[in-house]
């Protein structure tokens, strides 16, 4: 397995390496413990807290990212602007803003909560399972992305019609349509009726 920022250990304040931990939750999103990141994704998967971000430009186009080819989970597939996992005890909103900057080099000019969705999506290619209680966020981006190549291979801004065309021919993450459909009411409120979402 390639070592990426998502799978690498990080140093704690005393200089030792710690595994990346995720927050395990119950069906109501209440924290019940922690698990190492890769272990939480091994079949059948452990239900854990996650987030998904959808950022739009001033024309109402959605910023998509293609996940870097070196990622251990769903490499090379297209997905929403940013997704990930809060550290244990980290607020989902703070994690969403942090990871958007880390992955894409941009900070949203607006970021708002858009509800939650719970899903179970196995990834046939990797054999891993996404058992997630996902916090959704929508927002605006005004700066051009400066992606971290270890995280993101490519970005593109799309209209709803362009997304439909791309979704028909390209591979998207297993969770993409689930999180987009769950976020649509907030997306429509943010972008307005003329954007077509």
Catalytic residues: 83, 132
User: DSSP assignment of 126-149, as one string?
Assistant: T--EEEEEEEEEEEE--SPP---T
Helix (H, G, I), strand (E, B) or coil at 39: helix
What CA–CA distance (Å, rounded) separates 123 from 176?
12
Both tokens assigned to 179: 């999180």
**Cβ-based neighbours of 50, under 8 Å, separated by 6 or more:** 83, 84, 85, 86, 130, 132, 133, 134, 135
Helix (H, G, I), strand (E, B) or coil at 23: strand
**φ, ψ for residue 113 (rounded to 5)?**
-65, 145
Of the candidates 62, 31, 59, 61, the one whose C-alpha atom is nearest the C-alpha of residue 47 is: 31
């Amino acid at each position: 397995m390639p070592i990426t920022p998502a799978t690498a250990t990080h140093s704690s304040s005393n200089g030792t390496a710690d595994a990346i931990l995720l927050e395990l939750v119950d069906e109501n999103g209440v924290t019940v413990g922690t698990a190492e990141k890769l272990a939480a994704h091994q079949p059948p998967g452990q239900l854990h807290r996650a987030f998904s971000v959808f950022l739009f430009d001033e024309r109402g186009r959605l910023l998509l990212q293609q996940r870097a080819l070196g990622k251990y989970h769903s490499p090379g597939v297209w997905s929403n602007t940013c997704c990930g996992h809060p550290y244990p005890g980290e607020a989902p909103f703070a994690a969403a803003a942090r990871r958007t900057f880390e992955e894409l080099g941009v900070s949203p000019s607006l970021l708002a909560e858009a509800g939650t969705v719970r899903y179970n999506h196995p990834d046939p290619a990797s054999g891993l399972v996404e058992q997630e209680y996902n916090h959704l966020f929508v927002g605006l981006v005004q700066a051009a992305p400066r992606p971290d190549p270890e995280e993101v291979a490519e970005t593109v801004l799309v209209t709803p019609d362009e997304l439909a065309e791309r979704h028909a021919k390209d591979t998207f993450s297993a969770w993409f349509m689930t999180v987009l459909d769950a976020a649509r009411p907030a997306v429509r409120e943010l972008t307005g009726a003329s954007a077509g979402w």
